[in-house]
Amino acid sequence: MDSKIQKRKLGNSGLEVSAIGLGCMGMSFGYGTISDETEMIALIRSAVESGVTFFDTAEVYGPYINEELVGKALEPFKGKVAIATKFGFNFQDGVNTGLNSKPAHIKKVAEESLKRLRIDAIDLFYQHRVDPNVPIEDVAGAVKDLIKEGKVKHFGLSEAGVKNIRLANAVQPVTALQSEYSLWWREPEAEIIPLLEELGIGLVPYSPLGKGFLTGKMDENTTFDKTDFRSTIPRLSPENIKANLAFVDFIRQIAVQKNATPAQIALAWLMVQKPWIVPIPGTTKLHRLHENLGAIAIEFTADELQDINTASSKIAVQGDRYSAGSAKMINR
């Protein structure tokens, strides 16, 4: 295993992982295609060989097949990598029927995830979405029990708000919050990031490349298959993409100055915000994996960061980050 990649600690928890993780969702869920298992196992193992030690999955991705893939791929590296997975949904005949974070359900999911992931303990177990029907203290209590039993090592939340983070953290210290955060979705900066700093909680940004938009590979002619969840995202509609290209052009200019790619600039910018931020870009392509990892070497001067912040704050992003249906699931 190559250890060139720097490590970062997620908050005060002592969970140390590579500075960039790998989001595995897109290998089997969300983008309309299920990638070849053999190829994806090779990609995940190549990530490990390159020094990545942090892998993200969830039972809902598939459901189940993404956890199975990650488990198979990482079995030879047991104990050398950290696997994060998530609970919080109900399934009937393989169909997601909505939120469920009841304590008994959380414990059942943990047992099932352990089997699929082929591990003895889940390194980081996130509540995937806040369940308005279950007090967050009960959720934290259930994970606390699992930690005592040695089945889970760390507790995480995803897309939770300030009040829920505080309440959960008081019952069982939260190691990491996973939330969308990128150059073009900066809402967490207002209240969430200061709170995480105060409580010593790490931040794991998902969609750090704006669901692919910030790589500079989309234009107004880009279309998504209806089975690709991006086809439902307002800010990725053809007319909004056209308006939002100003954002990519601006990132591209910085990339040229830095002899880097737009994706590398977007990731490097995230990592420079706080030493406890670990983005998890997803990919199904080996060259993209290596491109993303190249972001670790990029540094910015204080002036460059100031310029990026000033310029990006002047560009109004068009369109919401989620469809109305998906946004309903984000109950903070």
287 Rama sector, left if φ>0, alpha if ψ -120 to 50, beta otherwise: alpha
* Residue 64 among the catalytic residues: no
Catalytic residue among 31, 61, 64, 126: 61
Amino acid identity, residue 156?
G
Say whether 80 sits in a helix, a strand or coil. coil
* Under 8 Å between Cβ of 315 and 214: no
* Torsion from C-alpha of 231, 234, 238, 241, nearest 10 degrees: -120
Kindly provide the b/e burial profile for residues 102-124, where b requires at least 16 CB atoms within 10 angstroms of the residue's own CB.
bbebbbebbeebbebbbbebbbb
**90 sits in which H/E element:** strand 89-92
Query: In angstroms, rounded to a whole number, what is the distance separating the alpha carbons of residues 226 and 106?
Result: 32
User: Can you count the helices (H) and strands (E) in the chain?
Assistant: 11, 11
* Under 8 Å between Cβ of 156 and 175: yes
Query: In angstroms, rounded to a whole number, what is the distance separating the alpha carbons of residues 243 and 267?
Result: 22
The pair of three-digit structure tokens given for residue 307, joined into one six-digit string? 């310029």
Stated length of the chain: 332
* Under 8 Å between Cβ of 236 and 319: yes
User: Hey, which residues does 122 pair with through a beta bridge?
Assistant: 152
Among candidates 5, 43, 12, which has minimal Cα distance to 197?
A: 12
In angstroms, the first-to-last Cα distance of the chain is 39
Q: Between the CA of residue 319 and those of 49, 188, 240, 271, what are the distances in Å?
A: 39, 18, 6, 25
What residues are annotated to the active site? 61
